[in-house]
Amino acid sequence: MKFISFFCVTALVVILLNPIFQYWVIMIIIAVLAMVMGSSGAAAFFGGGLGMGVAWLGQSYFIVATTGSSLAEYMAELMGLGSSLMIHLVTAALGFLLGSFSGWTGSLFRAIMKRKPTDYYKG
């Protein structure tokens, strides 16, 4: 359940705040969300990655559809990727990597800050 909620919150945060802030601010927000929500390592990694990747993929398709721009085709041709679909997939993959490592960072930071018991002899 934490995975689905973290995925949805991450996607919502990326969709709402990405037009306002730069990507690195969104990465910090995702790390803080993973830390606050208490997601485990794998749930934070895949939840953050899929949330940001799906959001970036949707935003790239939305921008192309609403503006009617052929910039994606020009960039794909310039980079030698072939079609604009590859640009969208590269964007989604980059979003997945940034989001997943942000979520994992928040999960690991929570694990570091977790208080460990000091009394070893619980007899």
Distances from the Cα of 102 to the Cαs of 27, 31, 49, in angstroms? 5, 5, 8
b/e per residue, 33-67, with b = 16+ CB within 10 A? bbbebebeeebbbbbbbbbbbbbbbbbbeeebeee
Is the pLDDT at 123 greater than 60? The verdict is no
- E strands, 1-97, are none
Residue 74: the pLDDT is 86
Mean pLDDT of 77-106: 91
In one-letter notation, the amino acid at residue 102 is: S
What's the mean pLDDT when you consider all of the chain?
Answer: 90
- What pLDDT digit, counting tens, does each position of 24-66 carry? 999 999 999 999 998 888 999 999 999 999 999 999 999 888 9
SS3 69: coil
Residue 41: the pLDDT is 86
Mean pLDDT of 111-115: 84
pTM of structure: 0.85
Mean pLDDT of 57-79: 87
Is the pLDDT at 8 greater than 70? The verdict is yes
SS3 5: helix
| 91 burial level (CB within 10 Å; 0-12, 13-18, 19+) | middle
SS3 20: coil
Mean pLDDT of 81-105: 92
Residue ranges per domain, the chain? 2-113
